[in-house]
Amino acid sequence: MVCLESRTGRQMQRYNSAGGRQVVGCIPYRYKQEIDGNMSNELEVLVVSSQKGQALMFPKGGWELDESLEEAALRESLEEAGVIGLVEHELGQWSFISKRHGTYYEGHMFPLLVKEQLELWPEKNLRRRIWMNVVEAREVCQHWWMKEALDILVDRLTPKLT
């Protein structure tokens, strides 16, 4: 059963030792399907629009006291993008300044291999979701730290020649 309501408020929000808000995000990804139904090697990632505008980014939000980093990543992907999948090994941790609040935040990013895309999700009426290739996503993503996380994911998923 999927909850169709987003968590709101900051009463359960985690903050780091310097007082910065801790946020968690995911890069939802899949491999493009060929016309014959087989999976290709072409990677697609899912971006969402911001709540307050047209800016595009990967799903992210506050890490709350009653959840692990991975649980927060799953929740944010469900709430903002309407996707469910497997959270993989963390891509990294970044420190960045919140444009709205002017304080340093701590951001964690994870890859999410998408297994299911829902027709109804908590923020369906607040956000657009768009599948695109990695080059397009890197171009439109509004946050430098998310672009770095995308680069790490692509590097991780690209086969190495030996």
Q: Give, in words, the CATH class of 25-157.
A: alpha beta
**Which tens digits make up the pLDDT trace of 1-30?**
455 555 555 678 898 888 889 999 999 999
pLDDT at 32 over 90: no
List own/partner pairs for 88-97 with CB under 8 A and 24 or more apart: 88/112, 88/113, 91/27, 91/149, 91/152, 91/153, 91/156, 92/148, 92/149, 92/152, 94/145, 94/148, 94/149, 95/20, 96/143, 96/144, 96/145
**Which tens digits make up the pLDDT trace of 110-147?**
999 999 999 999 999 999 999 999 999 999 999 999 99
| pLDDT band, very low/low/confident/very high, at 81 (cuts 50, 70, 90) | very high
pTM of the model: 0.88
More confident residue, 20 or 58: 58
More confident residue, 65 or 52: 65
CB 64 within 8 A of CB 12: yes
| pLDDT band, very low/low/confident/very high, at 54 (cuts 50, 70, 90) | confident
For residue 1, the model assigns a pLDDT of 46
List the domain boundaries for the chain. 25-157
